Structures are given as C-alpha cells and as structure tokens.
C-alpha cells in the first residue's frame, strides 16, 4: 500500500518563512482548497492519505516533506534548518512510528527533506541554507548499512535541492541548471525548465504519473513533449509560501 502523509494547511500560513520569495498575501481558503485537490490527485494515483491535523502555531507545517526522510527500511526525522520549523517534527515522528524504525538528526546537524533527492540507492542531499555537512554525515551513518550511497550537492539561488531538480521518470530528471550542477546526476536524462520559469523544476513522481503545478505552462509543455504523463493542479497559494508539490507529502510503501 502506498501511503501519502499530508498535513492540513496552517491557519497561520501567511507568517511562513520566506528565503528567496517576496511576501504576498495568501488566500487561506483557496490554499486549503488547492491542498485538498492535491490530496485528491494523490488518492487518484493510488495513495492512501494519512492526513494530519493543522498545527495553528506552525505556519510552514503543511510542508511535511521537510520533517522526515522515509526510505523502505527506516525513517529519519530531520532537524529543519529554520528555527521556526524545528517543532514541526514531533507530531510527524509520532505519526511515522507505526510504519518505520526512526532515527533522529541531532545538533549541529540541520536538514530539510526538501534537500533530499533519492534516486534508486543514491541519496543526493543539497547543501543549501537549510542543510549542512553535519547532517549529511549523520544520514550516511544511518543509511549506509542498508546499501545507500549519500552525496552532498551544492545548491545556489533557491531554497532546496528539490527546488532545482526532481525526478519525473525512472531515468529522467527535470532541472534548473542555474541552481545545481547538471553533471551531478550521472546517466540520468535531463529535461530543462523553460528559461522563463525558474521555479518550475519541482514535480512529484507517483507511480507512473507526475503531479505538476499549473503555474508553469511552458515547462509543462516540455514535459508533455517528452511523453511524461501529468496530473496537473493549481497550488499557487502554496507556491507563495515558498512551497511546491513535493513539499506537501511524505510518500512511502507500507506492507500490512
Ligand atoms: N516556507 C517554506 C520554508 O521556508 O521552509
């Protein structure tokens, strides 16, 4: 069974952390509707939704991806790189406990799940303003016994590694080469974002389809030309909070 763990949008999302974006008013009702539609897309792709209640005091808590790294064999509870986001992990750890053995990143390590891109048995971790070498070393210690390789990747100009590059098919990545070195990813084929859509590289591959924001029509056309099957949805209010489609869920297999 494929589980998608999500969290209701915080009523306080307008006070979210912003690093590279200017602050714009967020329509909370619309954000909730878009988030519900996102969950419906995940359900249509075969996910069972494990929906966590809103955290009114934690503006960024809808972005559950940043709180954990869930692999088949274990889950790592992160230590988010923004102080305001540190309290987000406790309830996610509790929710993940029935599914996985948990490991915890400790200070001075900081890491956001948005910086973690797993491709097969390789885990790429962005060295961004949120994630550091101390955390990468701890992740290595947790996952190497299970046969994973871990590689730190320089990221510049965007919040997370997955702002710059995500997987859109078994052997294909969607990438903004201005923010990450395209040579990092070995034999993977690369589709470039449209030059007018710098933020368009975040896509969420679920089974055989990709959940993709309607905010980037030019890049959407490129993906379609490459034969990538899309489930498009409007997440414009969540994008204003410097979020994206991968950020809003933790997706993993669960065997009863
Ligand atoms: N607003 C998302 C983040 O800064 O983590």
Instruction: Look at residue 83 in the predicted model and tell me its pLDDT.
Output: 98
Catalytic residue among 16, 47, 158, 247: 247
Instruction: Look at residue 70 in the predicted model and tell me its pLDDT.
Output: 98
Would you call 247 a catalytic residue per the annotation? yes
Q: Please state the separation of Cα 98 from the chain's center in Å.
A: 22
Tokens of 91: 């309830």
| DSSP conformational letter for 132 | -
- Residue whose CA is closest, atom 4 of ligand 1? 17
Instruction: Look at residue 60 in the predicted model and tell me its pLDDT.
Output: 98
Instruction: Look at residue 255 in the predicted model and tell me its pLDDT.
Output: 85
Instruction: Look at residue 174 in the predicted model and tell me its pLDDT.
Output: 98
First CA to last CA distance, the chain:
8
Residue 17's Cβ-count burial label (10 Å; 0-12, 13-18, 19+) is: middle
CA-to-CA dists, residue 28 to 18, 57, 183, angstroms:
17, 15, 40
Using the mean position of ligand 1's atoms as its centre, give its distance from the Cα of residue 242 in Å: 5
Residue 231 near residue 209 (C-beta atoms within 8 A): yes
Per-residue pLDDT of the chain (256 residues; tens, 9 = 90+): 999 999 999 999 999 999 999 999 999 999 999 999 999 999 999 999 999 999 999 999 999 999 999 999 999 999 999 999 999 999 999 999 999 999 999 999 999 999 999 999 999 999 999 999 999 999 999 999 999 999 999 999 999 999 999 999 999 999 999 999 999 998 999 999 999 999 999 999 999 999 999 999 999 999 999 999 999 999 999 999 999 999 999 999 998 7
Ligand 1 pocket test: pick from 242, 244, 245 the residue with the most ligand atoms within 8 Å of its Cβ. 242
Q: Which atom of ligand 1 is nearest to the CA of 66?
A: 5
Using the mean position of ligand 1's atoms as its centre, give its distance from the Cα of residue 61 in Å: 9
Using the mean position of ligand 1's atoms as its centre, give its distance from the Cα of residue 31 in Å: 15
Instruction: Look at residue 232 in the predicted model and tell me its pLDDT.
Output: 98
Would you call 248 a catalytic residue per the annotation? no
Q: Which atom of ligand 1 is nearest to the CA of 80?
A: 5
- Residue whose CA is closest, atom 2 of ligand 1? 242
| DSSP conformational letter for 95 | H
Using the mean position of ligand 1's atoms as its centre, give its distance from the Cα of residue 141 in Å: 27
Instruction: Look at residue 256 in the predicted model and tell me its pLDDT.
Output: 72
pTM score above 0.95: yes
How many Cα atoms are found within 13 Å in the side-chain-facing hemisphere of 41? 26
| Sheet containing strand 230-233, strands side by side | 204-206, 209-213, 230-233
Residue 116 contacts by C-beta under 8 Å, 6 or more apart in sequence? Answer: 69, 123, 124, 125, 126, 139, 161, 162
Instruction: Look at residue 117 in the predicted model and tell me its pLDDT.
Output: 98
Which residues have CB under 6 Å of ligand 1?
16-17, 19, 60, 63, 82, 241-243
């Amino acid at each position: 069974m494929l589980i998608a763990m999500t969290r209701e949008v915080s009523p306080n999302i307008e006070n979210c952390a912003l690093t590279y974006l200017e602050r714009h008013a967020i329509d909370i009702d619309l954000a909730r509707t878009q988030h519900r539609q996102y969950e419906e897309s995940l359900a249509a792709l075969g996910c069972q939704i494990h929906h966590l209640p809103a955290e009114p005091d934690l503006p960024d808590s809808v972005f559950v991806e940043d709180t954990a790294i869930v692999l088949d064999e274990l889950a790592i509870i992160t230590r988010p790189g923004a102080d305001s986001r540190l309290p987000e992990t406790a309830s996610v750890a509790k929710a993940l406990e029935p599914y996985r053995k948990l490991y915890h990143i400790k200070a001075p390590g900081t890491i956001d799940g948005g910086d973690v891109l797993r491709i097969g048995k390789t885990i790429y971790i962005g060295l961004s303003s949120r994630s550091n070498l101390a955390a990468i070393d701890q992740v290595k210690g947790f996952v190497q016994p299970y046969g994973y390789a871990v590689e730190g990747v320089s990221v510049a100009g965007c919040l997370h590694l997955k702002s710059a590059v995500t997987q859109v098919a078994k052997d294909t990545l969607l990438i903004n080469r201005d923010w990450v070195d395209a040579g990092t990813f070995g034999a993977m084929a690369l589709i470039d974002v449209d030059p007018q859509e710098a933020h368009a590289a975040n896509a969420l591959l679920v089974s055989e389809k990709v959940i993709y924001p309607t905010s980037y029509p030019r890049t959407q056309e490129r993906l379609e030309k490459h034969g990538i099957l899309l489930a498009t949805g409007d997440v414009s209010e969540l994008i204003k909070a410097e979020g994206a489609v991968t950020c809003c869920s933790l997706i993993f297999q669960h065997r009863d």
